[in-house]
Structure 1
Amino acid sequence: MAMAYPEVAPHWELYEVHLDEAEYLDTQWENALTAPDRYLGHVAQREARLLAHVDALALGGGEVSQRYLRPALAVEEAPRVSAAALALLLQEGTAGRDAVLAALTDGPPQALPGLQRALELCGREDVLPALTALLTPDTDPAVSAVALEVHAAHGRVPSVALESWLVHPEPTVVAAACRVLPFMGTALPAPVLRQWTQALESSEPLVRDAALASGAVLGLRAAWTRCLQVVEAREPSGRLPLLLLAQGGNTQEHARLMELLDEPRSCVDAVWALGHGGRPEAVDACLRLLEDGHAGVARLATESFASITGFPLEDAHLLLDEEPPEDASPAAPLLLEVEKTLPRASPEAARAWWTRQREQRRFAPGMRYLAGVPFSATALVRSFATAPARRWSALALELSIRSRGRHIVSARDFSFRRHQRLATVQGFAPRGEQPFSSLLHS
Structure 2
Amino acid sequence: MAYPEVTPHWELYEVHLDEAEYLGTQWENALTAPDRYLVHVAQREARLLAHVDALALGGGEVSRRYLLPALAAEEAARVSAAALTLLQQEGTAGRDAVLAALTEGPPEALPGLQRALELCGREDVLPGLTALLTPDTAPAVTAVALEVHAAHGRLPSVALESWLAHPELAVVAAACRVLPFTGTALAAPLLRQWGQALESSEPLIRDAALVSGAVLGLRAVWTRCRQVVEDSGAPGRLPLLMLALGGNTQEQALLVELLGEPRARGDAVWALGHGGRPEAADACLQLLEDGDADVARLATEAFAAITGFPLVDAHVLSEEPPEDESPDAPLLLEVEKTLPRAAPEAVRAWWARQREQRRFAPGTRYLAGVPFSVTALLQSFVTAPARRWSALALELAIRSRGRHIVSARDFSFRRQRRLTTVHGFAPRGEQSFSSLLDS
Q: Which range, TM-score by smaller chain?
A: over 0.9
User: Does the Cα contact within 8 Å between 2:222 and 2:434 map onto a contact in 1?
Assistant: yes
In 1, Cα distance between equivalents of 2:329 and 2:434: 35
| DSSP 3-state at the match of 2:68 | helix
Q: Which residue of 1 aligns with 2:155?
A: 157
Q: Match for residue 431 of structure 1?
A: 428
Partner of 2:31: 33
Query: Which of 168, 171, 179 in structure 2 is aligned with 1:170?
Result: 168
| 1:15-164 aligned within 5 A | 15-164=13-162
Structure 2: distance between partners of 1:404 and 1:433: 13
Deviations 1:190-215 (A, max 9, x none): 11100000000111100000000000
Of residues 272, 278, 281 in structure 1, which corresponds to 2:279? 281
How far off its partner does 1:330 sit?
A: 4.5
State which of 270, 273, 280 in structure 2 corresponds to 1:272: 270
**Hey, what does 1:402 align to over in structure 2?**
399
In the alignment, does 2:428 pair up with 1:418? Answer: no
Q: 2:379 aligns with which of 356, 378, 382?
A: 382
Alpha-carbon displacement from aligned partner over 1:371-390 (angstroms, at most 9, x marks no partner):
00000011001100000000
Contact 1:186 1:219 in 2 (8 A): no
1:333 maps to 330
Q: How many residues align?
A: 439
Correspondence list, 1:172-251, <5 A: 172-251=170-249
Distance in 1 (alpha carbons) for counterparts of 2:109 and 2:327: 22
**1:13 aligned partner:** 11
Name the SS of the counterpart of 1:97 in structure 2.
Answer: helix
Alpha-carbon offset, residue 292 of structure 1: 2.8
Q: Is the 8 A contact 1:242 1:273 kept in 2?
A: yes
Contact 1:104 1:112 (C-alpha < 8 Å) held by counterparts: yes
Is contact 2:233-2:261 (8 Å) kept?
Answer: no
Name the CA shift for 1:278/1:36 in 2 (closer, same or farther; >3 Å): same
Contact kept, 8 Å, 2:161 with 2:189, in 1: the verdict is yes
SS of match in other structure, 1:291: coil
1:132 Cα offset (Å): 0.2
**C-alpha spacing 1:250/1:293, structure 2 compared with 1 (3 Å):** farther
Q: Find the aligned partners of 1:101 and 1:123 in 2 and give their Cα distance.
A: 15
2:393 counterpart of 1:368: no
Separation of aligned partners in 1, 2:145 and 2:276: 36
Alignment deviations for residues 365-423 of structure 1 (CA, whole Å, 9 cap, x no partner): 00000000000011001100000000000000000000000000000000000011000
Q: Give the 5 Å matches for 1:244-263.
A: 244-263=242-261
Contact 2:321 2:338 in 1 (8 A): no
Tell me, in whole angstroms, the C-alpha distance in 2 between the residues paired with 1:324 and 1:9.
49
| TM-score between the two structures when normalised by the length of structure 2 | 0.99
Which segments of 5 or more consecutive residues in structure 1 lack a partner in the other structure? none
What do you get for the CA RMSD once the two structures are aligned?
Answer: 0.9
Q: Counterparts of 2:152 and 2:324 in 1: how far apart (Å)? A: 39
SS in 1 for 2:289: helix
Q: Are the equivalent residues in 2 in contact too, given 1:234–1:260 (CA < 8 A)?
A: no
